[in-house]
Chains A and B, each alone.
Chain A
Amino acid sequence: MKKFGRYVIFLVSLVVRRETFTTYYKLVVDECMQIGVKSIALFVLVSTFMGAVTTVQTAFNLVTPLVPRYVIAQVIREMTILELAPTIMAIIFAGKIGSSMAGGLGTMRITEQIDALEVMGINSSSYLVLPKIIASMLMYPMLVIFAGVCSILGGYLVGTMTDIMTPTEFAMGLRASFNSYTITFALIKSFVFAFLIASISCFKGYYTHGGALEVGIASTEAVTSSVIAILLADYFLANLLL
């Protein structure tokens, strides 16, 4: 509870004594490059293979001829939109971006760079952390959309190239009983997950004390805590919104 209270105070400190809009604008653009653009390759790779593997495994489990083949595409669509793209990719995002945020801020803390900002009269938490959170919340939903497309594309390529189903069956499956609300739900999840990952990771990094060992510990804790928060939020959001 003490840690949670500290986390809440940390979040409040981000919005008091802010710098100018121009300062944040530049920082957010920089962070978007770091967080978003530089993560695209990883997201493409992981999501394409996730879609491909899901296709093969769903086909393997559909042993009865009574179930039409297009159901495989339907399963891929639902799994991708509801869980694989927003949630599994969030765990990967926490591993890549969360640990980098915590490590970066932790290093800044132990090398007195954060103290240097404070001495200059800058609200260091707001200056360093707020742009990361905003950039994460801007970029992660886009990455989720991107990952969803790649996952479905991966499923399509493997499904059609290995004769699991025809392109027509795949297209039919994608469109069958489609509920567009699932996309809204996925995007809501992605906003929440992005906020949790960025804020928790920055919190862990910002309050690092000690040396290189503690920076490593902060990075590990950032990923662990973010993943736990993602899974809890996933459950509550599903209960609340579905």
Chain B
Amino acid sequence: MIKIKNISKSFNDKSILRNISGEFDKGKTNLIIGSSGTGKSVLLKCIVGLLHPDTGNAFYDLRNFTEADKEIKSEIRREIGMLFQGGALFDSKNVEKNVMFPLDILTKMPLAEKLDRANFCLKRVGLENANKKMASELSGGMKKRVGIARAIVNNPNYLFCDEPNSGLDPQTSIVIDELILELTHEFNITTIVVTHDMNSVLGIGEKIMFLYKGDKLWEGSNNDITHSGVKELDDFVFINKVMKSLKGKSLT
């Protein structure tokens, strides 16, 4: 479980996040949603330590990550897998080496074992025959899958996904979403997904935190989202006619 307490962050006196608190459950896909510029990615970066919050802390299973010394931080980081928006694959390495990279650096596994583990993860994300392809040869969806394979290769306890569907077609988006959901349940990981994709919200949002202009306005699940009673959330969710009609059905 990951718990955040009173996280605030400003850039050049511009307040981006204000006193965000909440809990992200183990074995569930926890979503942070909100429109562009609301501070979702900044919150995620504060949680994983890429940014230091001005105030507040992030706790990984009761371990205070924000205030931890370098060694404990390093130890916790080894339990983290992260999927970045663009995949963040290393250009100079092929798919196999990208996936094996965390094992190369963080473990003393023999090569054969590392290869087995990388192949298992690649197979798990549906990329059995792409081992020798370079990052530049992959499509957007494939990059995301390789990113997921790299994120889970080290058996993480915590998985972070920053807008996993950005730039993908709706079909591939659903495949990626389902993969994240399956992996979360299969490995009992605490997963946090930052997204503004409504398909993801309704499809995999087992626990959802809604941010609006740097504040947390609502928390709940995808079953509750259609009757939250929060105007800003309704404006975000029911933006088009299809969603509005869905709301009508759910309310009746």
Q: Are A122 and B80 in contact (CB under 8 A)?
A: no
- B residues in contact with A120, CB < 8 Å: 77-78, 80, 101-102, 105-106
Q: Are B84 and A112 in contact (CB under 8 A)?
A: yes
Q: Are B105 and A116 in contact (CB under 8 A)?
A: no
State the Cβ distance, B111 to closest chain A Cβ, in Å: 13
Q: A111-B88, A119-B48 are in contact. Are A19 and B77 (CB under 8 A)?
A: no
Q: Are A113 and B105 in contact (CB under 8 A)?
A: no
State the Cβ distance, A30 to closest chain B Cβ, in Å: 9
Interface size of B by Cβ–Cβ distance < 8 Å?
Answer: 25
- B residues in contact with A17, CB < 8 Å: 70, 74
Q: Are B90 and A121 in contact (CB under 8 A)?
A: no
How far apart are the CA atoms of A23 and B107 in the complex, in Å? 12
B180 at the interface (CB under 8 A from A): no
- B residues in contact with A122, CB < 8 Å: 105
How far apart are the CA atoms of A113 and B105 in the complex, in Å? 15
B84 in complex: contacting residue of A23, A107, A116, A121, CB < 8 Å: A116
State the Cβ distance, B203 to closest chain A Cβ, in Å: 25
B176 at the interface (CB under 8 A from A): no
B78-98 CB contacts (< 8 Å) to partner A: 78, 80, 82, 84-86, 88-91
How far apart are the CA atoms of A120 and B91 in the complex, in Å? 17
Smallest Cβ-Cβ distance to A119: which chain B residue = B82
How far apart are the CA atoms of A128 and B217 in the complex, in Å? 41
- B residues in contact with A115, CB < 8 Å: 45, 50, 84, 88
Q: A111-B88, A115-B88 are in contact. Are A121 and B106 (CB under 8 A)?
A: yes
Interface size of A by Cβ–Cβ distance < 8 Å?
Answer: 15
Q: Are B80 and A119 in contact (CB under 8 A)?
A: yes
State the Cβ distance, B129 to closest chain A Cβ, in Å: 24
Q: Are B105 and A112 in contact (CB under 8 A)?
A: no
B86 in complex: contacting residue of A23, A112, A119, A121, CB < 8 Å: A112
State the Cβ distance, B48 to closest chain A Cβ, in Å: 6
Q: Are B78 and A121 in contact (CB under 8 A)?
A: yes
How far apart are the CA atoms of A23 and B91 in the complex, in Å? 18
Q: Are B105 and A23 in contact (CB under 8 A)?
A: yes
Q: Are A116 and B88 in contact (CB under 8 A)?
A: yes
B73 at the interface (CB under 8 A from A): yes
Q: Are B77 and A116 in contact (CB under 8 A)?
A: no
Beta-carbon contacts of A89-123 to B below 8 Å, as 1s and 0s?
00000000000000000011001110110111110
How far apart are the CA atoms of A113 and B89 in the complex, in Å? 6
Q: Are B88 and A112 in contact (CB under 8 A)?
A: yes
B41-77 CB contacts (< 8 Å) to partner A: 45, 48-50, 70, 73-75, 77
- A residues in contact with B84, CB < 8 Å: 112, 115-116
- A residues in contact with B74, CB < 8 Å: 17, 121
How far apart are the CA atoms of A113 and B87 in the complex, in Å? 9
- A residues in contact with B102, CB < 8 Å: 120
- A residues in contact with B48, CB < 8 Å: 119
Q: Are B70 and A111 in contact (CB under 8 A)?
A: no
Q: Are B82 and A111 in contact (CB under 8 A)?
A: no
- B residues in contact with A108, CB < 8 Å: 91
- A residues in contact with B75, CB < 8 Å: 121
Name the residue among A17, A23, A108, A119 with the largest chain B CB count within 10 angstroms. A119
State the Cβ distance, B46 to closest chain A Cβ, in Å: 13
Q: Are A111 and B86 in contact (CB under 8 A)?
A: yes
State the Cβ distance, B85 to closest chain A Cβ, in Å: 7
Smallest Cβ-Cβ distance to B84: which chain A residue = A112
Which A residues are closer than 8 A to B by beta carbons? Answer: 17, 19, 23, 107-108, 111-113, 115-116, 118-122
Q: A112-B85, A113-B90, A119-B82 are in contact. List 12 more A-B contacts (CB 8 A).
A: A17-B70, A17-B74, A112-B86, A115-B50, A116-B82, A116-B84, A116-B88, A120-B78, A120-B80, A120-B101, A121-B73, A121-B77
Top 3 closest pairs, chain A to chain B, by CB: A121-B77, A112-B88, A116-B88
- 9 pairs, CB–CB < 8 Å, chain A vs chain B: A107-B91, A111-B86, A111-B91, A112-B86, A113-B89, A116-B88, A120-B77, A120-B101, A121-B78
